[in-house]
Amino acid sequence: MMPLFRIGVTVVLALIAGMACGDDRVEFDREIRPILSENCFHCHGPDESRRKAGLRLDVSNTFDRKSFIERISAEAGDERMPPLESGKNLTPKQRNLLLRWIEQGAEYQPFWAFTPLIQPPLPDLIANTPPTNNAIDWFVQAKLDQRGWNLANQATKFRLLRRVKFDLIGLPPTPDEVDNFLRDESEDAYERVVDRLLASPQYGERMAIDWLDAARYADTNGYQVDRNRELWAWRDWVIDAFNANMSFDQFTIEQLAGDLLPNATLSQQIATGFHRNHMLNEEGGIIDEEFLAEYTADRVETTASVWLGQTFQCARCHDHKFDPFTQRDFYSMKAFFHNVSERGVGIYANPIRRNAPPFVQLSTPELDSKVASLKKKRDEATRELDDYTSTAKKEWKPDLSDEQKQAEQKSLESQPRFVELTAAVAKCKKEVQAAEDEIPTTLIMSESKPRKTYILDRGAYDKLGDEVTANTPAILPPMSDALPRNRLGLAYWLVSNENPLTARVTVNRFWQQLFGSGLVRTSEDFGTQGELPSHPELLAWLSVRFRESGWDVKQLMRLIVTSHTYRQQSSATQAMHDMDLDNRTLARGPRHRLMAELIRDQTLAVSGLLSQKIGGPSVRPYHPTGLYEQVTAGNGYNVYVQGKGDELFRRSMYTYWKRSVPHPAMLAFDAPFREFCSVRRSRSNTALQALNLMNDPTYVEAARFVAARMWNEGGSCIEERIRFGFKLLLSREPSEPELQVMVAAYNRAKDDFSKDQTAATELLSVGENKRELGIDAIELAAMTTLATTFMNLDEFISK
C-alpha cells in the first residue's frame, strides 16, 4: 500500500506548498513554465514545423491575453485548451496559477539552466547556524529554515565511515579501520579518513563506474552479432585520470578530442575511445550510411546528455518539442563527429579478430621483442627456402620451354626438402601472426577527409536536407572565433566559462553519486521538462566553485563529503519519511541500496577473496551455465568460458560486459544494458535480487570464507565471533537483540548440521576456491549460514 500512500502524501504536501505562497507573486520558472511545457509547448513551443496558429508560448509574452484566458478557461468544445484529444488537462489549481500569472503581467524568466552561471552569495540564516563553515550546509539550512527544520545530527561514526568508504572507494571498512576510527577522537579524524580515501588507487575505480554508464562502455559491439571488442584500455585510462585528479576540463578535452591535441600522446589517443563506445553493427544486409548515421547520432546524444544535460535525441527527427533546440542544431553538432575514419558496417580489420578501425595497438617491450624474434625466424626460413629454390633452378637447362619449366617446377615442389622448407615458412608465419594478435588494441577516434553533413529528414539516413557545418546549438553562447570547428573546438567550448551547463550538469552528477539523487533529480534532463533544482543557489554556488577551482574533482568530492549535510544521520521518524520521502530537503543523510557492482565487491572484500588488481582485460567470473547459448547464436565468441583463479574475484567493474546478455546479477541490481548513454540508474527492490544473493555461487562461496574469518579472527567463543561478524560485515557492534538472534541461529544450525553432516560438507563445497580452512565442517557450515544471513540483510547491501 505504500506507493499509494506516498502519492497521497505528496499531493497534500503540494497543496500545503501552494497555500504557503498563495498571496505572493507567481514564480514563472517554478510554477508556470512546467505547466506550459507540459500542456502547451507541444504545439506552441520551439518546434516550428508543428507550431499551431503561429502562437509561441515558450519565449515571448506577446500573445493575446484575453484569448489565452478564454481558451484555458473553456471546459469543452473547440475553444478548450489544451484540446481534449491531446489527452492533456489543466487542473483547477494550474488554471488558477496561469490566471494569476496573467494578472500579474505574464512575465517570463529565461530558463534557469541556460542563464549565465553566477555564484550567489551565502544565504542569511534566520534561526540556526550550521555546525560547520561549509557553504553547502548554509544553503541547505536556509532551505530547512523555510520549514522550521534543522539539519540532523551527525551519523554515528561507524555508519559515517561505511558511507564515505562506499562513496569514495566502493568498499566497506575493515574491522581495524572501524576500531581505529572509533578510537581516534581528534577533531580532524574524519577529514583524514577522507584524504586517505581520495588518495587510494581504488578511488579511481569507484569514480569510474558511473562514468562507464555514461560512456556506454561494454566489451562487445551490441546488435545482433555482438562480437567482442577491445576498449578496456580506455576504461583503465578513466580510472587513472580520476586517480591522478585530472581536471574535469582536461578530462573532457582528452576524451572528446585527445587525438587532435598537438603532439597527441598515446594516452590522449586512448582517451578518445570515449566516443567509440557506441554499438557497432555487423549484421549482414545493413547499409553503411544507415549505421554511420546511428553512430554519429549516438555521439551527439551522448555528448548532449553528459555535458549539457539535454535530451537531444528529440531533435534528431524534428525540432525539439519542449526545449529550444532545432533539428539544425542536432546535425550541426553531428558534423563534429562525422569525420572519423570508420565504416558503418563494423567489419573488423584484417586479421578478423579484434577491433573495427580506427584503433591503436598497445604493445609492450616483451611482446615487441617476441614478434621481432619470430619475424627473424620467419625471414630465415624464407631465405632458406629461397636459397634452396634458386640453387635448384640454377641446375635447370638454360633454354627450357615454358612447358618444360613448369614440369621442372613441379618436380622441384615435390622434393621432400622443398616441402619441408615450405611447411617451415608457413609455420613461422602463423607464429608471427599469433604473436601479433597477442598485442592488445583499443578503439580510438581519428579524423579522415571531412564528410558532408546534412539535416536528415525525419532522421532517415537517406533523406538528405540542407547541408550544415559543425556548430554548437544556437540558443547557447556561441563558440569563440578562435576555436577550430572540430571536436577539439567543441571540447574547449564545452568547458569554456561561457557555457552555462557543463559545470551545473557535472556537479549535479557527482552530487547524485553521493546522495543517491541529484539536486536536479532528472540528471539526464536539464530542460524544461526536467525537474527544477531542489537547491538552485547551492547548485549554482557549487558549480562556479568547481569551475573556478580549475575543475578539481577531488576538491569537489572532499567539499561535499566533509559537509555536515553529507554527514547527517540517515535515520528518521516515520513522520519525517512521510513529509519528505525522497529527502529532497536534505534534512537527513543519504541511505540507499548499493549499486550492482558494489554489492558483489564488498562481499568479495569481506571474505578476503577480492583481488586488488586494477585494470586490464575484462574477466569472466561465475555465470549461470548455458545463458549465452540460449540467447545468442551460440557460435565461438558467444560461449562463456569462466575465468580462473583471481579472475573470479576481481572487482565487478571488470566483469565482461556482453551487451546482448549482460551478467544477470548486474541486470538484477539495475545496471543498464550499456547500449546507450545512461547517467542515472533506477534502484529497484526485487525477489530476483534476493535469489541472487542467496544462491549465486559467488555469495555461497564468499560466505564460507567470511565464516572462516569470523571463526579465526573473531575470538574464542561464539558470541565474540558473531560480534566480529557484525563488525566485519556491518561495520558496527550488534545490539543485544541482534546478538541473541544470531547466537540462537548458530546453535540451531550447528545442531541441525550435526545431524546431517553430508549437508554440511555439500554446503562447503561450492565455488572454485578449495582452500582448506582447517575448521570443523559442522561448525563452519553453521557459521556459513550465519554469514549468509548477514549478507542478505538490507543493511549489508545499503550504505
Partner 1 sequence: MTNNTIQRNSGTLPHRLLRRQWIGSIALASLLTPRLFAQSSGAIAPRAKRVIWLTQAGAPSQLDLFDYKPGLATQFDKDLPDSVRGQQRLTGMTSGQKRFPVAPSLFSFQQHGQSGMWLSELLPYTAKFADDLCLIKTLHTEAINHDPAMTLLQTGHSFGGRPSFGAWVSYGLGSENADLPTFVVMISRPSGPTNAQPLHERMWGSGFLPTKYQGVRFSSGKDPVLYLSNPPGMTLDRRRAMLNDVASLNQLAYSELQDPEIQARIEQYELAFRMQSAVPELADLSHERASVFDRYGPESKKPGTYAANCILARRLAERGVRFIQLYHRGWDQHNDLPKGIRSQCYDTDQPTAALLGELKERGMLEDTLVIWGGEFGRTVYSQGVLTPNNYGRDHHPRCYSIWMAGAGVRGGTVFGETDDFSYNIVRDPVHIHDLNATALHLLGVDHTRLVHRFQGRDYRLTDVHGQVVKEILL
Residues between 619 and 658 that touch partner 1 (CB under 8 A): 624-627, 630-634, 638
577 part of the interface to partner 1, by CB under 8 A: yes
Among residues 247 and 534, whose Cβ is nearest to partner 1? 534
Residues between 257 and 286 that touch partner 1 (CB under 8 A): 281, 283-286
Which range in 234-242, 249-257, 315-323, 494-502 contacts partner 1 by CB under 8 A?
A: 315-323
Whether the Cβ atoms of residue 302 and residue 215 lie closer than 8 Å to each other:
yes
Grid coordinates in use for 181?
576510527
Reference 33, options 304, 308, 323; nearest CA is 323
Q: What is the DSSP letter of 475?
A: T
State which of residues 714, 781, 783, 799 lies at the interface with partner 1 (CB under 8 A).
Answer: 781
766 part of the interface to partner 1, by CB under 8 A: yes
742 part of the interface to partner 1, by CB under 8 A: yes
Among residues 109 and 415, whose Cβ is nearest to partner 1? 109
Reference 170, options 207, 137, 127; nearest CA is 207
322 part of the interface to partner 1, by CB under 8 A: yes
We find the least distance from the C-beta atom of residue 756 to partner 1, in angstroms, to be: 8
For Cα atoms 554, 559, 565, give the angle at the middle one, nearest 5 degrees: 140
Reference 472, options 331, 318, 310; nearest CA is 331
Residues in CB range of 511: below 8 A, 6 or more apart: 518, 519, 542, 560
Secondary structure percentages of the chain, helix, strand, coil, to 5: 55, 5, 45
State which of residues 661, 702, 780, 783 lies at the interface with partner 1 (CB under 8 A).
Answer: 661
Among residues 97 and 653, whose Cβ is nearest to partner 1? 97
713 part of the interface to partner 1, by CB under 8 A: no
State which of residues 145, 447, 670, 719 lies at the interface with partner 1 (CB under 8 A).
Answer: 670
We find the least distance from the C-beta atom of residue 466 to partner 1, in angstroms, to be: 23
In the Cβ-directed half-sphere of 317, how many Cα atoms lie within 13 Å? 6
7 part of the interface to partner 1, by CB under 8 A: yes
Beta bridge partners of 361: 441
Mark residue 441 as left, alpha or beta (left: phi above 0; alpha: psi -120 to 50; beta: remaining).
beta
We find the least distance from the C-beta atom of residue 686 to partner 1, in angstroms, to be: 5
Which range in 21-29, 413-421, 558-566, 571-579 contacts partner 1 by CB under 8 A?
A: 571-579
697 part of the interface to partner 1, by CB under 8 A: yes
737 part of the interface to partner 1, by CB under 8 A: yes
Residues between 213 and 232 that touch partner 1 (CB under 8 A): 223-226
Beta bridge partners of 619: 655
Among residues 220 and 339, whose Cβ is nearest to partner 1? 220
Whether the Cβ atoms of residue 307 and residue 677 lie closer than 8 Å to each other:
no
Residues between 508 and 527 that touch partner 1 (CB under 8 A): 521-522, 524-525, 527
Whether the Cβ atoms of residue 512 and residue 318 lie closer than 8 Å to each other:
no
- Amino acid letter for position 744: A
The label of the residue with cell 600522446 reads 265
Q: What is the DSSP letter of 120?
A: P
We find the least distance from the C-beta atom of residue 785 to partner 1, in angstroms, to be: 6
Judged by DSSP in three states, 443 sits in strand
Residues between 531 and 560 that touch partner 1 (CB under 8 A): 531
Among residues 130 and 222, whose Cβ is nearest to partner 1? 222
528 part of the interface to partner 1, by CB under 8 A: yes
Among residues 223 and 359, whose Cβ is nearest to partner 1? 223
Pattern 17-56, partner 1, x by CB under 8 A:
x----------------xx--x------------------
State which of residues 555, 570, 611, 769 lies at the interface with partner 1 (CB under 8 A).
Answer: 570
Alpha helices in 185-261 (DSSP H): 189-199, 201-214, 232-243, 248-257
State which of residues 170, 590, 662, 714 lies at the interface with partner 1 (CB under 8 A).
Answer: 662
We find the least distance from the C-beta atom of residue 609 to partner 1, in angstroms, to be: 17
We find the least distance from the C-beta atom of residue 766 to partner 1, in angstroms, to be: 5
792 part of the interface to partner 1, by CB under 8 A: yes
Whether the Cβ atoms of residue 336 and residue 494 lie closer than 8 Å to each other:
no
311 part of the interface to partner 1, by CB under 8 A: yes
Grid coordinates in use for 573?
521518524
Whether the Cβ atoms of residue 158 and residue 799 lie closer than 8 Å to each other:
no
Beta bridge partners of 228: 220
Residues between 89 and 118 that touch partner 1 (CB under 8 A): 91, 93-94
Reference 257, options 237, 240, 272; nearest CA is 272
Which range in 405-413, 445-453, 486-494, 783-791 contacts partner 1 by CB under 8 A?
A: 783-791
**DSSP-assigned letters across all residues of 715-762:** -SSHHHHHHHHHHHHHSSPPPHHHHHHHHHHHHHHHHHHHT-HHHHHH
We find the least distance from the C-beta atom of residue 313 to partner 1, in angstroms, to be: 8
State which of residues 760, 778, 780, 783 lies at the interface with partner 1 (CB under 8 A).
Answer: 760
689 part of the interface to partner 1, by CB under 8 A: yes
We find the least distance from the C-beta atom of residue 716 to partner 1, in angstroms, to be: 23
Judged by DSSP in three states, 492 sits in helix
733 part of the interface to partner 1, by CB under 8 A: no
Among residues 38 and 776, whose Cβ is nearest to partner 1? 38
Residues between 418 and 447 that touch partner 1 (CB under 8 A): none
We find the least distance from the C-beta atom of residue 363 to partner 1, in angstroms, to be: 33
State which of residues 420, 582, 720, 733 lies at the interface with partner 1 (CB under 8 A).
Answer: 582
For Cα atoms 11, 523, 49, give the angle at the middle one, nearest 5 degrees: 90
Which range in 122-130, 438-446, 646-654, 688-696 contacts partner 1 by CB under 8 A?
A: 688-696
Going from the C-alpha of 460 to that of each of 292, 317, 521, the distances in angstroms are 12, 8, 33
Whole-angstrom distance, CA of residue 793 vs CA of residue 787: 10
Whether the Cβ atoms of residue 361 and residue 440 lie closer than 8 Å to each other:
yes
State which of residues 499, 529, 543, 655 lies at the interface with partner 1 (CB under 8 A).
Answer: 529
Reference 116, options 477, 471, 472; nearest CA is 477
694 part of the interface to partner 1, by CB under 8 A: yes
Whether the Cβ atoms of residue 165 and residue 171 lie closer than 8 Å to each other:
yes
749 part of the interface to partner 1, by CB under 8 A: yes
Among residues 174 and 798, whose Cβ is nearest to partner 1? 798
Alpha helices in 395-501 (DSSP H): 402-413, 416-438, 487-494
Among residues 342 and 552, whose Cβ is nearest to partner 1? 342
- Amino acid letter for position 727: K
